[in-house]
Amino acid sequence: MAAPKITLYFDVVSPFAHIAFHVLKHSPTFVKCDITYVPIFLGGLLKACENPPPIRIKNKAQWINQERLRWARYFSVPIVEQTPAGFPSLTVAPQRALCAISQKAPERFVPAVEALFQSYWVEANSQIGQPEGFGPVLEKVLGKEGAQQILNATSQDEVKSLLSDNTDRAFQSGAFGLPWFECTNSKGEKEGFWGIDHLGQVAEFLGLDRSLDNGFRAVL
């Protein structure tokens, strides 16, 4: 029987993508899943959907802050109490960097994703969107020379196109926000799910044991 598969589309700017990444990577509920992480540009996705940024919707900015803290608490995910200064940062550059890493140093891709989420949503690195902000983060994962190679690659057309293609792929799969989960169960059936609050439905669709993670007591 084939292992359940999850493709998580993410942008480090999203606190809920941060929570989703942490849960998928660390929760025993998902340990048997084949998980693929795909960096996209959330701003591009919202533009394709003709959706306004969530923080521009009246009352939603406050709701986002309350919800990110609530869901992080449910699943014991580290997260900063105060929203990083200047949120939301423009993250097209670090997202391109992740695309470059996925091609040039794939074995360091997941650690790089984790390091960037940690930097922004745990350490409140308000410069995450700038090379001087995310470059040192990548140095810790790739080394100084490796990080510089990735920084140089972010201006290459191939890397720019990859981020654009990933974003379009998310849009074509039905995404309109993040996190977006594209799932295939052991029967080969496929479904898309949006939002950390639908993680319980993801687990149910994939036939996973939610009792292994106490966080699911708060999830339908």
Q: What is the DSSP secondary-structure string of 33-85?
A: SEEEEEE--HHHHHHHHTPPPGGGSTTHHHHHHHHHHHHHHHTT----SSPPT
In this structure, the chain runs to a length of 220
For residue 96, what pLDDT is reported? 99
Helices and strands, number each (H, E), in the chain = 8, 4
pLDDT in tens, 200-215: 999 999 999 999 998 8
CB atoms within 10 A of CB 169: 15
Distance between CA atoms of 167 and 189, rounded to whole angstroms?
A: 23
The 8-class DSSP code of residue 210 comes to G
CATH code for position 54 = 3.40.30.10
Number of compact structural domains in the chain = 1
For residue 24, what pLDDT is reported? 99
| Antiparallel, parallel or unpaired: β 180-184 and 34-39 | unpaired
Place of tokens 């926000």: 177
- What is the chain's mean pLDDT, rounded? 96
Percent of the chain's residues with pLDDT above 90: 89
Give kind and range of the element (H or E) at residue 141.
Answer: helix 131-153
The two tokens of residue 61 are 């900015």
pLDDT in tens, 44-95: 999 999 988 777 777 777 888 999 999 999 999 999 999 999 999 999 999 9
Place of tokens 């036939």: 207
Distance between CA atoms of 105 and 185, rounded to whole angstroms?
A: 29
Provide the domain limits for residue 199: 5-218
pLDDT in tens, 149-190: 999 999 999 999 999 999 999 999 999 999 999 999 999 999
For residue 219, what pLDDT is reported? 67
Q: Is 14 a catalytic residue?
A: yes
For residue 220, what pLDDT is reported? 54
For residue 60, what pLDDT is reported? 77
What average pLDDT does the segment 134-155 reach? 98
Active-site residue (options: 14, 27, 102, 119): 14
| Residue 104: pLDDT over 80 | yes
